[in-house]
Amino acid sequence: MFIRAFRTAFYLVCFAVGAAFAGSASASDATLHQTLQGKLDQAYGPIWATGDAAKFVSEFLTDDVVITASDSPTVWAGNAQSTKLIAELIAAYPRITATAVWTAPLGSEAAYQFVVFQLMPADEKEAPVTAKSLYVWVKTANGWRVAADHYSYVGMDTPAIDAK
Asked if the model's pLDDT at residue 58 lies above 90, the reply is: yes
Q: What does the chain come to in residues? A: 164
CA 34 to chain centre: 15
C-alpha closest to that of 81 among 93, 70, 72, 68: 68
140 domain residue, yes or no: yes
CA angle, residues 42, 43, 48, in degrees to nearest 5:
115
Asked if the model's pLDDT at residue 102 lies above 50, the reply is: yes
158 domain residue, yes or no: no
The whole-number pLDDT of residue 61 equals 98
Domain count, the chain: 1
159 domain residue, yes or no: no
For residue range 13-53, what is the model confidence (pLDDT) as tens digits?
A: 444 444 443 344 454 488 999 999 999 999 999 999 999 99
Q: How far apart are CA 26 and CA 6, in angstroms?
A: 28
For residue range 1-11, what is the model confidence (pLDDT) as tens digits?
A: 444 444 444 44
164 domain residue, yes or no: no
What is the mean predicted confidence (pLDDT) over 127-148?
A: 96
CATH number of domain containing 97 = 3.10.450.50
- What range does the domain containing 94 cover? 2-153
